[in-house]
Amino acid sequence: MSGAHDKYPAYPDEQGKMKQFEAAYSQYRSAICKYFTVKINRTVADDLTQHVFLKAAENLHRFNANSSLFTWIFSIAQNTVKNEYRSLSRKKGIISDFTSMEPQSISLDFARFVDIRIDIGSALKQLNELDQQIITLHYFVDCTLLEVARIVGMRESAVKNRLYRALEKLRKLLKEWGDIAVMSIQDRISIVSKSEGQSAGVSEKKVHRDLFDELKRSVVQLVSKFNHEPSRKVVIEIYPDLPTFHEAVGEAGAPNWFMGTYEDNTLKIVSPLNPGPEHTYASILKSTTHLFAMWLVRDINPLAPKWLSQGIGGYEAKQMSESYIRDTTAEAIRNGAIPTLAQLENDTWDFETMGGFQFSYLMVEFIDKQYGLDALNQVIGRPDNCRGIFNRSESELHEQWVHYISARF
């Protein structure tokens, strides 16, 4: 945060002070907001940030112009956090103090196109209060070492030494993830706030390793297959169980089969350790490939139809066995009730009951087997150009597809 440690000269009048303060608001607002996100949570960070600057404006006459304005504002933020902790402890009937910290995650950049976020909140909490604060301020709030020194009341050289020792402690606490995790902090990888923390135990580490293995096999291959350089890196968030996941994505009443989705460039999945009654550890892992493929299709063409992104996701992930597809589509095929492409645009939970995942898979398989990868890539770019790609209308293509899957099963 360049310039955040600047000292301000004495102001000639109140108007000059306020202009300087307005400039400080633009300069420091982001840092204060990040601090609240780390120490409390993102839902109240904006409101508390506004509160801090309003309070600072009201008390600007008390600011010593020979001091650092950032440090002065930050002291108000610290007191605000303490007050919030006291308020929360009274509401919950528990004792809380300044060392409390919302669970934090860092991103492990293990592939060119994907980050997986690892919770380090439990490890941070095992450090003492000063070490927590130095790491938080420097890596999560983006304070310079000089700013950190002024906030904690130490020499800059002492803060630097303390920081290195704290990082070494953190590395040991994280054990096998330590080297990567600390490296990721140093690279200023973004923070994720979660409602509940999880310990970095053996099981969680196994999940992360297995995700690495699953995605290493698929991500680069998919990028090459569909000849598309992703516009940005994808982040994966893992939720501890189905209820937490459903609540987080705004679908509290969702069916048990719904265990993953993506929003913007973030893939959100249920932990493979708690897959729910309709999934397994392995199927959750494969869903990351499914979701990445879906995201990649939409990154190529945001207007790509649902059947195409879902079909490519399922086709590439190979989550559904051939026997499962055959058994769950047999009645519709036998009764001539195979859905049209328009019907496969159904964006309700009925998509699952109508066999939407299976039929989307079969349509993509049909295009790939009968027309080849080049045609599939053309469909992604121009899904409305059926005649130009297949030399037939959409209804004629559907009829050909029906014959294909009827003969296949």
In 3D, which of 107, 123, 139 has the Cα closest to residue 267?
A: 107
In 19-77, where do the E strands start and end? Answer: none
User: 105 - beta bridge partners?
Assistant: 119, 192
Q: Torsion angle of alpha carbons 377, 379, 381, 383, nearest 10°?
A: -170
**Measured between alpha carbons, how far is 78 from 168 in angstroms, rounded to an integer?**
26
Rounded alpha-carbon distances, angstroms, from residue 312 to 93, 185, 296, 299, 324: 51, 35, 10, 13, 17
**Measured between alpha carbons, how far is 37 from 71 in angstroms, rounded to an integer?**
18
Tell me the domains of the chain and their CATH numbers.
14-92 (1.10.1740.10), 123-185 (1.10.10.10), 201-298 (no CATH), 301-409 (no CATH)
**pTM of the prediction?**
0.58
Write out the two tokens for 17: 């002070």
**Measured between alpha carbons, how far is 97 from 175 in angstroms, rounded to an integer?**
27
**Measured between alpha carbons, how far is 351 from 343 in angstroms, rounded to an integer?**
9
One digit per residue, the tens of pLDDT, for the chain of length 409 reads 434 444 433 334 455 556 666 777 788 888 888 888 777 767 788 889 899 888 888 888 787 777 778 888 888 988 888 888 777 666 554 433 434 445 455 554 444 556 555 556 666 777 888 988 888 888 778 788 888 898 888 999 999 899 888 887 877 776 655 554 544 444 432 323 333 444 444 476 677 778 777 877 788 789 889 999 888 878 888 888 899 899 989 999 899 999 999 998 888 999 888 899 999 999 999 999 999 999 999 999 999 999 999 999 999 999 899 999 999 999 999 999 999 999 999 999 999 999 999 999 999 999 999 999 999 999 999 999 999 999 999 999 999 999 999 998 8
Question: At which residue do the structure tokens 């000063």 appear?
Answer: 130
The b-or-e profile of 265-293 (16+ CB within 10 A means b, else e) is ebbbbbbbbbbbeebeeebbbbbbbbbbb
Give Cβ neighbours of residue 172 (< 8 Å, ≥ 6 apart). 178
Give Cβ neighbours of residue 305 (< 8 Å, ≥ 6 apart). 341, 344, 345, 383
Residue 383 contacts residue 312 (beta carbons within 8 Å): no
